[in-house]
Structure 1
Amino acid sequence: MFDDARKRKALDFVYSYRIPLLFLILIVCVIFQIHGSSINELNFFNVKHNLLFGVSREIRADEFNVNTMLAFSQYVNNFSYFTDIVRAATTDMFLIYGQPVWDIGIIFKPFLIGYLFLNQAQGLSFFWVSRLLALLLVSFEFGRLLTNDNKKLALAYSLLITFSPLIQWWFAINGLVEQLIFGQLGVLLINFYMNTTDYRKRLLAALAMVIVVGGFALVMYPSWQIPFAYVFVLLAFWIFLKNRKNFLFNKKDLLIIVASLAILGVLMAHVLSNSLETIKILMNTAYPGNEVFNGMGVSTYFFNYVPSIFFSVMPDNIPLNVVDTSAFCDFFPVPLILAFIVLAYQKTKDKLLFGLLALYFIMVIFYFVPLPEFLLDITLRGHVRNIRLYSVIGFLGVLILIRSISSLKELKPKKLIVISSFILSVIVVYLSTFSYEGYYMTWMLLILVVFYTVFISIIFMSSSPEGKKIFLIACIVLAFLTGALVNPIDHGVDVVYESNYIHEVENIVHNDSNGVWVVQDLYFNSLLPVGAKTINSVNTYPDLEKWHTLDPSHQYENVYNRYAHIAVILHNDSDTQFGLISQDIIHLNINVNDLEKLNVSYFATPKNLEEFSNENVTFVKIYSEGPYNIYNVKYHS
């Protein structure tokens, strides 16, 4: 009895002080420079460094090689809105792959603010940990709203979202975490606004809503923004219907709303005025600007969650790209079955659950069925990649699952539940083999059937308080297996800055700050943190004027007019050509005599470039460490 009372007291303390406790965790992590980045993959020069836990992952290159390197480059750029370090050309650092800048627009990207006041390691820590804790907290509060304040289910929901395979494999990329934080927080703020009569609190909620709406809009990744917007608009409408009878509205509210919209409009106009040219260029790119998508989704993706308990510990030989096809664990088709039981069999009246189901089936139609052009335009469906739409369908599945459990009445007999769960598990595991047959071994299939039999049985038996407690425990186990092990727990950024090679690059940049660099067979963005103006660093949008100097007839414009990672390959005896390897990877096969057109000054490469020297250009080795060299390019024209 005493132990139970003490446990209850401890849990009550954690719940009551959850926000201060999370702030304390954030402060401690920032002090000790804790983060989840896979930057250890950049340790080409064997800097002595030990991960605290887990493994860094090469497949997370968009995180450690792109997003993190761009952020670090801003320290050399004094956090200006535009930089000439990335692409070795004037580049918008705020709008695309949003990075920390000293600009009022940064209020829409609050998780980047740490970079402005902290060193690189602590800024990275703040970025990682604040987003993780914010998503955990906001999802918990949203879960309370979704479940009529059932804290066990709310925590289970928070874990299913925060430590889902989708969130963890995409963490720090394309604003996915921010979209879920802002979207859920927006719904919570509307609910708060409508349930308080204190106008100071209403004003604060409205001002927070300005940041939420602006932050969501400026993620600039429509493939997720558009379908997530559908979900959050539906939820906001539900909140309005739920509270409309008791909501008191007067002239003060009108003034608050008008003022908030005006502030949002002014701030967004400021950002758009800075980035208008960027937007124009982006909208006219071959990728991602001019892509149109319409139906024809892959049905087997609905079962991508099934093997995810193995991915973080057994990442080899996965036939699909584990990042691209990661999912929310929604246990499809369990949410639909459970919702049918609650609404039809148990005759529960639940407008939200009905609305979520309706939107679910609308999105399934969008996913599979090609729409007429006018519907593509009206619904914005054409801007949404199928694989991203399927992610949002999975999010809806989690919402339906948790909402259904919160309304579920006891189901009997338990023996029938277990048998049905076993049959369902066999079916979903079998259907997942169409995508993962080459990955599975027999013992893995057996484990999956047992695991999902147990988990699905727990779901169907979760009507009681004890059942919900067991469901929460099961979600903790699932979160650990599918999400918590994906990213490492690491500290510091010494692998980026503390090699002799990087110090030499830094010295060269100090003495020749306008020198233009090409990086070969290293991560192309790895020199950005010390200010090396790298022409083939990630082209977040194309520099057409530069590429036209190599392609005056615009023969290859469809190749380089895109977001691109660019590998530079030197030739002595062939004309310069661009080759499209994948939608975001380009090979620039360049004749050495054309390097002068790009004003290239230095090469960082493991290759021997002296063999490319001729009467027009000479490659002079000025530094080497192990297999990696630095060449100065001399022109004789």
Structure 2
Amino acid sequence: MKKIRSFGIFFIKWRYVIALFVLLCSVSLNLNGSSIANWNSFGVRETVSGTTSETKTVDDYQGIQKLKLWIPSLSRNDDTVIGSPRPIRSDEWLVQTPFYLSQVKTGNHFINKSYQDSGQNMMLAYNVSSWHISTIGKPFNWGFLFLGASRGLSWYWSFKIIALMLLSYEFAMILTSKRKLLSVVSSLWITFTPTVQWWFMQHLGDVVFFSLLIMVSIYHYFNSEKKVFKIMMAINLIIALIGFPLIIYPAFQVPFAYVIMAFTAIQIFKALRNKKVKLFDVIVIALTLFVSLMIDVLTIYQSWDAISATLHTVYPGKRISVGGEYTWKNLSDFLFNIFLPFKTPQVSNQVELSSSFNFLLYILLILPFVIKRKDIKKNIFGIILVIYSLMLMFYSIVGIPTILAKLTLFSYVPFSRSWQSMSVIAVFASVWFISFIWDRLDRIKLTKILPSLLFVTILYLYRGLTDDIYKNYLGRFTTISFIVIMLVAFICILYRKNRIFYSIMLVIVTIGGLTVNPVTHGIGVIENKLLSHEVESIVEKNPNAIWMSDSTNLYHFVQMFGAKSIDGVRFYPDKQLMTKIDKQNQYEEVWNRYAHLKYSLTNENTSMTTPVPDNVNINLNVNELKDLKIKYVLTTRDLNKEFGSSFTEIYHDNDNNRIFEYLK
């Protein structure tokens, strides 16, 4: 044990050096967590070497065979080293990652002109990389500016995970009054919370990252006497105060903003009370706020047309949420987490079902029996986390009046996003509670807490054993086992069985969180395809030609290679383009939305449908191609046979992907 303890002390002491070394190794080895291998399942399998690239996911195996995917292997020909690519994460591999690759290929401009006619503001497009001053607040994007597409993607994933672990450790040290081992476990617990990992490359991952960066920087700023260190924390704050507002996803920003404000208010009050605020601090804080605010205002001003267009869309538009659409049954949703990486559910999907492993219900019922009035002042932030988690739960299950929702800005927060925010904040609350219990000098009497323990456990068991969703998805044995394990873990907290608790949590975090995203080597699954090389070659010869896809899933493919295209994923409508297609303005309710634009050529009149809220299917009359100045069409159909000699086939591969040149 002494050797393990010595290693732990060494690891913690040199954590930043070790983190830098791991980051450099990861980027050098070109590793990322993208599910980009799913492009194989979208009909792009033929490689330049003539082989066929295949992708296996958890849905391709049964039972124990699924674990094969988590045995590291270099023999898988889709560049996945370990884990399962996630088809459900299409927001990542089908949307966000192609945006990044397109940006690198076209010069990382703030407005990407590849998305015809008007281009697309890339600040709204998941905040991808661009040569813009706002990129100061997006450190995980810096690699795309200097390292190219493949290693830029590696920098994104590696930096974000490593930095989030470091921030989680520092935040846990604040919550736990510097309990180092508990903070190490908590850093993994927070970073690999299932809902964070399922949303990692999108909004929630960013919101958690910047929230922790703000709170950790503020804490260390006010608790340091060294001016150089204070300036370093101020720089961190500038990055965070640019990054957090420009996520532009209030559904997660609003819930976490309240946590940040509460923490900041407490730290400022303590600093003022202890007379730690000097003239130097006033100047530094003022400059920090001024610089970050000016960059935020400039970016929003330059993006206002796009933001306004988004707010006036049919979907998502300016939604008014009041909560109240979940039920008390969702209190046991944490049971799903342990199976989500290994089994696709039949109801909803992994992303929406994901939450966290936390002890909030136990804490809510037991806290009144263990906290004393004298404890409140010292533990005010932890208590706020518990109460606020309860409020978020109330909002999701019961709801609030519309006027209150608007006043609190929760009108921007759908019930499901409130619930997932609560799941993460409940982890923060759990970490605080553990330290609070372990700081107590007196032992907790079992007779006081036994009814609460039994009530929560019976509630979980009742839900798990009577609801068909749990019975069919988890099975009774797994359900009972997991509930008992969580109960044992909580009892270990109450009676200071540290080692058992750490072991249980590390196993749970590893199974339910660490297995969510795969480890992938590079982006060869895209770059080394025959179709990719052909598109890239055509773009080099004719960079200003306009493309479109026809009757294919590859509507967001050619943009990755710098091609200008009228399809793809649009965060807000291109009215200039839509005016050309929808000349009579018949279909504004259809195209005025966040949309995956998909075209099918036809001899009939142009029409549009929206089968699901974020998809727009356009049946485009073939004669419209001339007005739209289309030069190349990517399709799986024989356009010569269907539309005559106006098309010349210039490419055809074994996946039946074809490229036609339009001659009129």
Both structures adopt the same fold (TM-score exceeding 0.5): yes
2:312 aligned residue = 284
In structure 2, give the amino acid aligned to 1:490. Answer: T
1:77 aligned residue = 106
Asked if 1:112 is matched to 2:112, the reply is no
How much does 1:262 deviate?
2.0
2:623 aligned residue = 593
Aligned residue for 2:109, secondary structure, equals coil
More displaced 10-residue stretch of structure 1: 303-312 or 233-242: 233-242
How much does 1:370 deviate?
4.6
1:240 aligned residue = 268
1:411 aligned residue = 444
2:69 aligned residue = none
For 1:424 and 1:132, the matched residues in 2 are separated by 33
1:218 aligned residue = 246
8 Å contact from structure 1 (residues 52, 490) kept in 2: yes
More displaced 10-residue stretch of structure 1: 323-332 or 187-196: 323-332
What aligned pairs does 1:368-379 form with structure 2 within 5 A after superposition?
368-379=397-408
Aligned residue for 2:631, secondary structure, equals strand
Aligned residue for 1:569, secondary structure, equals strand
Percent identity reads 27
TM-score calculated relative to the size of structure 1:
0.92
Asked if 1:623 is matched to 2:651, the reply is yes
In structure 2, give the amino acid aligned to 1:428. Answer: Y
What aligned pairs does 1:198-277 form with structure 2 within 5 A after superposition?
198-277=226-305
Asked if 1:135 is matched to 2:132, the reply is no
Asked if 1:31 is matched to 2:28, the reply is yes
For 2:111 and 2:570, the matched residues in 1 are separated by 14
- Aligned in 2, Cα 1:560/1:433: closer, same or farther, shift over 3 Å? farther
In structure 1, give the amino acid aligned to 2:235. Answer: L
- Aligned in 2, Cα 1:443/1:281: closer, same or farther, shift over 3 Å? closer
How much does 1:600 deviate?
2.3
Asked if 1:452 is matched to 2:497, the reply is no
For 1:303 and 1:332, the matched residues in 2 are separated by 11
8 Å contact from structure 1 (residues 114, 122) kept in 2: yes
Work out which of the residue numbers 462, 466, 469 in structure 1 matches 2:493.
462
- Aligned in 2, Cα 1:248/1:494: closer, same or farther, shift over 3 Å? same
More displaced 10-residue stretch of structure 1: 452-461 or 496-505: 452-461
- Aligned in 2, Cα 1:135/1:443: closer, same or farther, shift over 3 Å? closer
In structure 1, give the amino acid aligned to 2:485. Answer: V
For 1:618 and 1:429, the matched residues in 2 are separated by 66
More displaced 10-residue stretch of structure 1: 10-19 or 597-606: 597-606
Asked if 1:149 is matched to 2:178, the reply is yes
8 Å contact from structure 1 (residues 550, 597) kept in 2: no
More displaced 10-residue stretch of structure 1: 60-69 or 302-311: 302-311
For 1:70 and 1:430, the matched residues in 2 are separated by 46
Aligned residue for 2:569, secondary structure, equals coil
1:22 aligned residue = 19
Aligned residue for 1:565, secondary structure, equals strand
How much does 1:312 deviate?
0.9
8 Å contact from structure 1 (residues 516, 533) kept in 2: yes
For 2:457 and 2:506, the matched residues in 1 are separated by 20
For 1:11 and 1:100, the matched residues in 2 are separated by 37
8 Å contact from structure 1 (residues 509, 515) kept in 2: yes
Residues 504-562 of structure 1: CA deviation (Å, up to 9, x unaligned):
11111112212222224234222222112222111121101211222233222122111
- Aligned in 2, Cα 1:98/1:147: closer, same or farther, shift over 3 Å? same
In structure 1, give the amino acid aligned to 2:8. Answer: L
In structure 2, give the amino acid aligned to 1:612. Answer: E
Asked if 1:427 is matched to 2:424, the reply is no
- Aligned in 2, Cα 1:184/1:629: closer, same or farther, shift over 3 Å? closer
For 1:356 and 1:178, the matched residues in 2 are separated by 20
In structure 1, give the amino acid aligned to 2:33. Answer: G
In structure 2, give the amino acid aligned to 1:13. Answer: F
For 1:318 and 1:57, the matched residues in 2 are separated by 15
For 1:564 and 1:518, the matched residues in 2 are separated by 15
8 Å contact from structure 1 (residues 85, 533) kept in 2: yes
In structure 2, give the amino acid aligned to 1:359. Answer: Y
8 Å contact from structure 1 (residues 87, 538) kept in 2: no
How much does 1:73 deviate?
0.8
Q: How many residues align?
A: 625
For 1:430 and 1:597, the matched residues in 2 are separated by 63
For 1:472 and 1:20, the matched residues in 2 are separated by 25
How much does 1:346 deviate?
11
Aligned residue for 2:357, secondary structure, equals coil
Asked if 1:604 is matched to 2:637, the reply is no
Work out which of the residue numbers 400, 408, 411 in structure 1 matches 2:429.
400
How much does 1:341 deviate?
3.4
How much does 1:84 deviate?
1.4
8 Å contact from structure 1 (residues 602, 630) kept in 2: no
Aligned residue for 1:305, secondary structure, equals helix
1:94 aligned residue = 123
Residues 453-511 of structure 1: CA deviation (Å, up to 9, x unaligned):
1222221332455x233222211111111111111111111111111211111111112
In structure 1, give the amino acid aligned to 2:637. Answer: K
In structure 2, give the amino acid aligned to 1:181. Answer: F
Work out which of the residue numbers 360, 368, 383 in structure 2 matches 1:340.
368
For 1:348 and 1:634, the matched residues in 2 are separated by 73
Asked if 1:553 is matched to 2:584, the reply is yes
- Aligned in 2, Cα 1:340/1:585: closer, same or farther, shift over 3 Å? farther
How much does 1:5 deviate?
2.1
8 Å contact from structure 2 (residues 336, 353) kept in 1: no
1:491 aligned residue = 521
Asked if 1:63 is matched to 2:63, the reply is no
In structure 1, give the amino acid aligned to 2:587. Answer: Y
More displaced 10-residue stretch of structure 1: 374-383 or 88-97: 88-97
8 Å contact from structure 1 (residues 168, 486) kept in 2: yes
* Root mean square deviation of aligned Cα: 2.5
Asked if 1:327 is matched to 2:355, the reply is yes
8 Å contact from structure 1 (residues 159, 475) kept in 2: no
8 Å contact from structure 1 (residues 161, 328) kept in 2: no
More displaced 10-residue stretch of structure 1: 213-222 or 187-196: 187-196
Aligned residue for 2:273, secondary structure, equals coil
Residues 304-329 of structure 1: CA deviation (Å, up to 9, x unaligned):
221211111122x4311211231122
8 Å contact from structure 1 (residues 41, 58) kept in 2: yes
- Aligned in 2, Cα 1:544/1:84: closer, same or farther, shift over 3 Å? same
More displaced 10-residue stretch of structure 1: 581-590 or 382-391: 581-590
8 Å contact from structure 1 (residues 194, 247) kept in 2: no
- Aligned in 2, Cα 1:87/1:371: closer, same or farther, shift over 3 Å? farther
For 2:32 and 2:510, the matched residues in 1 are separated by 17
More displaced 10-residue stretch of structure 1: 275-284 or 517-526: 517-526
For 2:83 and 2:117, the matched residues in 1 are separated by 35
How much does 1:180 deviate?
1.2
8 Å contact from structure 1 (residues 339, 401) kept in 2: no
1:507 aligned residue = 537
For 1:64 and 1:306, the matched residues in 2 are separated by 27
More displaced 10-residue stretch of structure 1: 303-312 or 325-334: 325-334
- Unaligned 5+ segments in structure 2 are 46-51, 54-76
8 Å contact from structure 1 (residues 38, 57) kept in 2: yes
Asked if 1:8 is matched to 2:25, the reply is no
In structure 1, give the amino acid aligned to 2:578. Answer: W
Work out which of the residue numbers 353, 357, 362 in structure 1 matches 2:391.
362
For 2:179 and 2:136, the matched residues in 1 are separated by 33
Aligned residue for 2:140, secondary structure, equals helix
More displaced 10-residue stretch of structure 1: 348-357 or 254-263: 348-357
More displaced 10-residue stretch of structure 1: 477-486 or 243-252: 243-252
8 Å contact from structure 2 (residues 80, 521) kept in 1: yes
For 2:266 and 2:465, the matched residues in 1 are separated by 38
For 1:21 and 1:458, the matched residues in 2 are separated by 30
